[in-house]
Amino acid sequence: MKVLHVSTDFPSKVDGKLHNYGGLGMCLFQLVDGLTQRGADLDILTRKDGDNCTEIIPGTIRVPYIKLTKSRNWKLTHGITLIPRLLLSLVNNKYDILHAHNPPAAMCSIPIAKIFGIKTVMTMHGPWAGVRDRFRGLAKFIEDCCLLNADIVTFDSHALKNMYPQDKKYIAIQNAVDSDEFKPMDKSECRSNLGLTKDRMILLYSGRAVYGKRLDTIFNVAKRCCDVDFIITGVNYDGRDGICPNIIYKKSIPNNEMPQLYSACDGLILASDMEGMSRAVLEAMSCGIGVIVSDIKANRETVGDISAGRFFKTDDELFEIVRDVTNEELSDMGKKGRKLVLSNYSVKRRIDAFIDVYDSLTETKAIYSRIP
């Protein structure tokens, strides 16, 4: 079985360090890396992002796209600029399945794959149209077309799947985290390595500064909780470093350095209005730190009902949690979260689920699906 993955995001190495924009790319990397380790035959068609990068997966094909502003809506142009390279790949290779990730990658690639008689899968890595701040009507139209055209659609959580009309071709495959890579480390040592204060509570936000993430909520609480330090890390940040003295901006951290940053903190804050299943929350739980998250169904599903986290709806509720929570409570949440990750969110489970999806679309079972 040969699979072509199409995505607007896929990580590469820059100066020897894994570099990526957003959770989609890391979710895809986790999938293709797991499939490759099992002997899968696959290629990746994705966007070009800079010239000083080294590929981490053989068979990665990068295509430029049009980007006139910083808006992430320009990723839609990649669905068009990839067409010539996609056609060349389909002519020169016998793919059994085309697997597109999110509607921008799927909108052109899935109809073209249908012309070639190739089975198609689309994975929704979040409520894509729902988090558009502009062109939402167009985004909803594109998303609906992609959902209709794909042979199977997978969703990163049950909560995300339930946001859409039910269809027998819709399948929830929860996100996963490598608990051997993302594991608890000595907090004091990590803080020393990162130059952080050892005797103050530190809360982390890890993610992009985009619509729906409610980063302003974290800024507002930081202003009111001057005895707590807040670390902001991610990309597309608008440079408000000096908004208050207890906010520390770490810019974009390579993925392999994130376990140290998580372990240096007491907890993670996620204030999103909508999520699929947050990688940051899973990674934080896996590293044994508490999570303080918005009270939405996806976060309820991720954290579960075992007091591994705290939930809030308003800025005032978040302020009250941050004001009153203790290091001991956050540590206890982290221990419970780590146990939850070990029992529910293994990478093997996720890879096996996707292999089952591929097998269901083809008459010939994948050889690598039988490897333990």
pLDDT at 245: 86
> What CATH number is given for 187-344 in this structure?
3.40.50.2000
pLDDT at 140: 94
- Checking if the pLDDT of 80 tops 80, the result is yes
Q: Where are the alpha helices (DSSP H) in the chain?
A: 22-37, 78-81, 83-92, 103-115, 136-149, 158-161, 187-194, 215-224, 258-264, 279-286, 297-303, 315-324, 327-344, 347-361
pLDDT band with cut points at 50, 70 and 90 for residue 240: low
Is the predicted pLDDT of residue 190 greater than 90, yes or no? yes
Residue 11 has pLDDT above 90, yes or no: no
307: left (phi over 0), alpha (psi -120 to 50) or beta: left
Tokens of 235: 């990309």
Answer whether 278's CB lies under 8 Å from 270's CB.
yes
CATH number for 2-176+346-370 (one of 2.60.120.620, 3.40.980.10, 3.40.190.10, 3.40.50.2000): it is 3.40.50.2000
Mean pLDDT of the chain: 89
> What's the whole-number mean pLDDT along residues 351-366?
87
Is it the case that residue 205 has pLDDT exceeding 80? Answer: yes
- Mean of pLDDT values over 21-29: 84
Q: pTM for this one?
A: 0.91
Instruction: Give residue 146's pLDDT.
Output: 97
Residue 14's pLDDT is 74
**Residue range(s) of every CATH 3.40.50.2000 domain in the chain:** 2-176+346-370, 187-344
Task: Report yes or no: 287 and 332 within 8 Å, Cβ to Cβ.
Answer: no
Q: What is the mean pLDDT of residues 25-50?
A: 90
Confidence check: pLDDT of 74 > 80: no
Is the confidence at residue 103, as pLDDT, over 90?
Answer: yes
